[in-house]
Amino acid sequence: MSAEATTKSGSAWAPFRHGAFAVLWTATVISNIGTWMHDVASGWLMTSLSPSPLMVALVQAATSAPVFLFALVAGALADLASRRKLLTTVMVLLFLNTLALAALVLTERVTPWILLLFTFISGTGAAFVAPAWQAIVPQLVPRSDLQSAIALNGVGINISRAIGPALAGAIIAAIGIAWPYLINAVSFLVVVAALAWWRPPQAPPSDLPAERFFSAMRAGLRYVKASRSMQSTLVRAVAFFLFVSAFWALLPLVARQELNGGPQLYGIILGAVGVGAVGGALFLPWLTRKFDADQLVAMGTLGTALVLVVLALIKRTDTAIIASLLAGACWITVLSRLNVSAQLALPDWVRARGLSIFITIFFGAMTLGSILWGQLATKIGIPNTQLIAAAGAVIAGLLSWRFKLLQGEGLNHSSSAYWPQPLVADEIAMDRGPVMVTIEYEIDPASAADFLAAICDLKASRQRHGAYAWGVFEDVAKPGRMLEYFIEESWVAHMRHHQRTSVLDREIQQRVIAFQRSGVEPRVTHLLAPEPDRPHPAEPPGIDDSLL
């Protein structure tokens, strides 16, 4: 089912029919409430320890920088290892880290740099959680409910955003700033319990050796580099998050210095963002019937720019709360469309790695933006910085408009088992390489231009599966005889290519083969780089040496 059809016909609440999704979603909401309480406490604590705009903005940077640095590593781990075990291990470590920070705050031993260190460690844990958590969503619901599941994840995050900050503000004012950290530590154990209950589906067996870590990372990067739909999604993500980060990085200072409020006001403003996001998520099914993804992202960008302008020009608490409601609705609208665009562009075998690259770009832009806007606010003031960020968001949105979202909509990434196993004279060591595959085509010379246009799509298909060199040549002695070649790093990499060839790849290849002369099959040859020290294999049976 296409993304548009799913949005139109599927129920927004359908994923809750699946027990695993319901349990893990609930545990995540509880944990995210604790995380938002933690974040509010850290932002507010820094305004007490060091009220400099740069130091306050560095709290946001310390949260997002580890995701930028480690998400790709985490994505490779999530595709190679058990995602359930990885998530459980990280949650236990986050529990211990948060408990230690709570102890330091209780004993008044925390300093600005200690707070940033523990925030960085928490961000590192988030970096290893995010790709694995997003990648398991297709394991929890059928494909027809995937869009709704992604939207409900956004709803859950923003329900926690609506509850957590307001609860944190009340708790900080009533019983002290250490308690949000203690509550967050306990919330991680709720997720550990849910993961212990969950029994994920077994991965299909493979007769190939386990993929090596760095090879897996390279494979993920090559796939995204050759995927036009992922590239467009990443460009749109940078254009949005780089400028919207000004809203998040400066929000604690807006509450404290611009509005002269306390932790309760800061919690209420963040809660308003969450309420707005929940409302936006509930309206998304209706909005997606009226507008396409690119229009929704444009509307969300303009809405966020308007919020920044309002916060810069109007110093009223009620206005700030109303603007935050709009900010939340815009945030969930844009984030959900970008997330869906990335999910639909990726097959299962590289999903966590591809999403980790999306997350890297997301948090990289947020980190860079937080540092940039914090420094700028120190020099020219918070209102002027917000106005510049608003103008930048609009300009970036216009410049990135040609990079369309949801290009992967309706594409079938499931395995097709289309390629037969290659014929070999002797057993081949899996680590031998590089491997060059050639395919000879016999076409009508009059169709050469159309053939070359079709085979360019095949180039991207080869590269998404690991080919690092590709080309097409024409026989000068026989017009219409075309030779395609591509090179992969090892025999095992090529065998994985055989396993991972999707229905989409088959459709692309069939469009190329349609140009083949009737009655003539393309000739496929597999070539390995020779190894002088390796004994030459015996000739295949049936060859008479006396005839040579």
Round to whole Å and give the CA distance between 58 and 119.
10
- Strand 523-528 and strand 435-442: pairing? antiparallel
Say how far residue 336 (Cα) sits from the centre of its chain: 11
CA separation for the pair 179, 169 (Å, rounded): 11
Q: Answer yes or no: is pLDDT of 416 > 80.
A: no
Q: Give the range among 350-359, 382-391, 483-492 with minimum mean pLDDT.
A: 350-359
Using only C-alpha atoms, the chain has a radius of gyration, in whole angstroms, of: 27
pLDDT value at 530 more than 90? no
First CA to last CA across the chain, in angstroms?
57
Question: What amino acid is encoded at 126 in this protein?
Answer: A
Residue 535 — pLDDT band, cuts 50, 70, 90?
low
DSSP state of 119: H
Q: Which two tokens stand for residue 253?
A: 């200072």
Residues 6+ apart with CB under 8 A from 417: 499, 501
For position 182, what pLDDT does the model report?
Answer: 94
Percent over 70 (pLDDT), the chain: 92
User: Going by C-beta distance under 8 Å and a sequence separation of 6 or more, which residues neighbour residue 462?
Assistant: 470, 486
Percentage of the residues of the chain whose pLDDT score is greater than 90:
28
Residue 332 neighbours by CB under 8 Å, 6+ apart: 154, 155, 158, 276, 277, 278, 280, 281, 284
d(CA 57, CA 432): 50
Domains and CATH numbers, the chain: 3-201+211-399 (1.20.1250.20), 435-531 (3.30.70.100)
Range 140-148 average pLDDT:
78
pLDDT in tens, 30-57: 999 999 899 888 888 887 888 777 787 7
Distance between CA atoms of residues 199 and 222, nearest Å: 32
Whether 151 shows a pLDDT value over 80: the answer reads no
Q: Provide the Cα torsion 350, 353, 354, 360; round to 10°.
A: 180
Neighbour tally for 539: CB within 10 Å: 12
Q: What is the mean pLDDT of residues 472-494?
A: 90
Question: d(Cα 231, Cα 358) in Å, to the nearest integer?
Answer: 10
pTM as predicted: 0.74
Per-residue pLDDT of 265-310, as tens digits, reads 877 887 788 788 878 877 877 888 888 889 999 999 999 999 999 9
pLDDT for res 394: 94
